[in-house]
């Protein structure tokens, strides 16, 4: 242990002459260890096959949406496809008659709200929110690429009359959350189509 040559320097808050160098070395060593940990962990993750999710790659570059074009999930899906550089056509598009490579038929897009719990007096205490989306994908010539597929997401929510406005806001957020989940699932299924 090194003796303290000037005990007043510790009391006044001034570092000792050699203390700054030791602290700087300690910080440099800790930074080096942290950097080595990052390199090591990224090497281990890459070695096990882990990779961050990439943007989906599609076998087509244009899609025509038919049937339910203006429902919430359908609109969100169209925005997600357009953000992925896919040309999206529907009945409101000026080039609606132009041929698209594939046709995304939205068969069902609905939101449901069901009472699943009541008090003895008949007051609603629990609701179940559902988002149901069914679609199919085919080529412009009619070859089926994805058969009719239905996705159903459910969320339970408690309900009280005294907080009706807050619960309405919570329902809206839950429906939007389910909508986002469905859009991501549909995008992954569309990206799984490798050839037309």
Q: Is residue 55 part of a domain?
A: no
Task: Find tokens 């357009």 and name the residue.
Answer: 82
35 plus 87 within the same structural domain: no
86 plus 172 within the same structural domain: yes
> Where does the pLDDT of residue 140 fall: very low under 50, low under 70, confident under 90, or very high at 90 and above?
confident
146 plus 115 within the same structural domain: yes
Average pLDDT estimate for 120-132: 87
**pTM strictly above 0.85:** no
**In terms of pLDDT, which residue wins out, 180 or 59?**
180
| Per-residue model confidence as pLDDT tens digits over 5-64 | 555 544 555 555 555 677 788 888 778 777 766 666 666 666 677 666 666 788 888 999
Q: How many domains does the chain have?
A: 2
Average pLDDT estimate for 134-159: 91
- Local structure of residue 121 (DSSP, 8 states): T
120 plus 150 within the same structural domain: yes
Question: What is the per-residue pLDDT for 53?
Answer: 65
The answer on pLDDT for 1 being more than 80 is no
Question: What is the per-residue pLDDT for 45?
Answer: 62
DSSP assignments along 47-115, one per residue: HTT--PPPPP--S-SEEEEEE--SSHHHHHHHHHHHHTT-EEE-TTSTTTTSPPSEEEEEEEEEEEEEE
CB neighbourhood size of 151 (10 A): 17
**In terms of pLDDT, which residue wins out, 89 or 29?**
89
Question: What is the per-residue pLDDT for 161?
Answer: 79
């Amino acid at each position: 242990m090194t003796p303290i040559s000037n005990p007043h320097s510790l009391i006044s808050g001034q570092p000792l002459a050699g203390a700054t160098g030791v602290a700087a070395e300690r910080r440099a060593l800790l930074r080096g260890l942290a950097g080595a940990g990052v390199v090591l962990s990224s090497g281990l993750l890459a070695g096990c096959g882990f990779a961050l999710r990439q943007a989906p790659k599609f076998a087509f570059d244009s899609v025509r949406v038919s049937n339910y074009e203006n429902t919430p999930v359908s609109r969100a899906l169209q925005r997600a496809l357009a953000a992925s550089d896919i040309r999206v056509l529907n009945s409101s598009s000026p080039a609606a008659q132009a041929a698209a490579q594939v046709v995304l038929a939205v068969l069902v897009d609905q939101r449901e709200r069901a009472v699943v719990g009541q008090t003895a007096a008949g007051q609603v205490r629990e609701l179940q929110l559902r988002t149901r989306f069914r679609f199919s994908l085919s080529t412009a010539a009619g070859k089926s690429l994805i058969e009719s597929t239905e996705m159903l997401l459910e969320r339970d929510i408690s309900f009280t009359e005294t907080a009706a406005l807050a619960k309405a806001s919570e329902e809206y957020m839950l429906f939007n959350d389910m909508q986002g989940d469905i859009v991501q699932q549909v995008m992954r299924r569309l990206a799984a189509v490798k050839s037309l």
